[in-house]
Amino acid sequence: MLFLRKQRSPLEAKSPMQTRVSAHSLSLSRTLVGAMATGVISVGFVIAPAGAAAQSIPITNAGFEDLYFGSNLPAQYGGDVPTGTFPVGPPPAGWTAYYEFGSPPTGANIGVLNPGTAADFAPDPAFFDDGSPEGDNCVLLYTNGDTGGDEYGVEQTLGAVLEADTRYTLIVEVGNIGSGTALLPPFSNFGFFNIDGFPGYRIQLLAGGVVVAEDVDTVLPDEREWATAVASLITGSSHPQLGQSLSIRVVNRNQPDVPGVTGIEVDFDDVRLFAVPVSAVPLGDATSGLVLVGLLLIGLRLLRRM
């Protein structure tokens, strides 16, 4: 009932609109995302006032590095997930399970993956060539089989509330795990996992349990790679959810993609949430910023098609 995942042959190459997220485009996207999150670049008619600084809102176990006591992780590891393994069971520490319709869909598994790198698996294929974006681990959302089903994921309520006149930026690394075999028992006993394809994802920012910002399938990482997903919100002087507790959620959309695979999976890592005070400015003062952002986004699209 476990999982691991996919490897795409040349005959199964994605279309030009789904081409590989190159190192250059990923670097540019992270640079742009970081600039926007911290107020260096502003979009629309709202900018950060002079001297405003981005506040990083604390997230418990944001990189999924805390000890994980999955139900099938041998006790000898003491919760330290070994390289090349993927225990499943309860959600990672600090997170709770989310199910679209209140109960787990058939075959759904939540756990922690320590993917290792290409060097750990050589000469066999790795789950992710460069490992996790932050630390060793990531959260895994795996569905056994190829038929998909209801959406599910993990979520966390934060110690902050939705405030007026603030720009919120949620940033999450989204991974498309490659097919392979675990490095150690009992996980290696499951054999080779064909987890080709990508079932889609959501990242969501909520206030009082209401989704106020989300990103759905905007980025498409190639097999064994990661891409940066971003969801953002700018509140004005009023918002129906002002004062409500913030929470974050990452979701496997669980959409069937490739028939006959062992299972379908999405992985997430390095979850970040920034808040920056903002104030309205005249159109003329914002135009140059809009032009710059437009040019950067066009360049990013071109790089992704290289």
Tokens for 264, please give them.
């379908």
Q: Domains along the chain?
A: 10-304 (2.60.120.260)
Report which of 219, 214, 212, 217 is spatially closest to residue 231, judged by C-alpha positions: 214
Number of helices (H) and strands (E), helices first, in the chain? 3, 13
Q: What is the mean pLDDT of the chain?
A: 83
Q: CA 53 to CA 42: how far, in whole Å?
A: 13
Q: CA 66 to CA 6: how far, in whole Å?
A: 27
Instruction: Please tell me whether the peptide bond between 123 and the residue prior to it is cis, using omega within 30 degrees of 0.
Output: yes
pLDDT band at 54 (very low <50, low <70, confident <90, very high): confident
Q: CA 95 to CA 53: how far, in whole Å?
A: 28
128 DSSP β-pair partners: none
pLDDT band at 27 (very low <50, low <70, confident <90, very high): very low
With a cut of 50, say whether residue 29 has pLDDT above it.
no
CA-to-CA dists, residue 13 to 50, 85, 130, 141, angstroms: 47, 27, 21, 24
pLDDT band at 294 (very low <50, low <70, confident <90, very high): low
Among 49-58, 271-280, 282-291, the range scoring the smallest mean pLDDT is 282-291
Query: Is the pTM of the predicted complex or chain greater than 0.85?
Result: no
pLDDT of residue 300: 47
The pLDDT tens digits of the residues spanning 98-148 come to 999 999 999 999 999 999 999 999 999 999 999 999 999 999 999 999 999
pLDDT band at 298 (very low <50, low <70, confident <90, very high): low
pLDDT of residue 51: 53
Four-point Cα dihedral 73, 78, 80, 83, nearest 10: -50
Which of 18-22, 53-57, 173-177, 255-259 has the largest mean confidence?
A: 173-177
Element at 234 (helix H, strand E)? strand 225-234
With a cut of 80, say whether residue 8 has pLDDT above it.
no
**Residue 264, burial from CB neighbour count under 10 angstroms (0-12, 13-18, 19+):** buried
The pLDDT tens digits of the residues spanning 217-242 come to 999 999 999 999 999 999 999 999 99
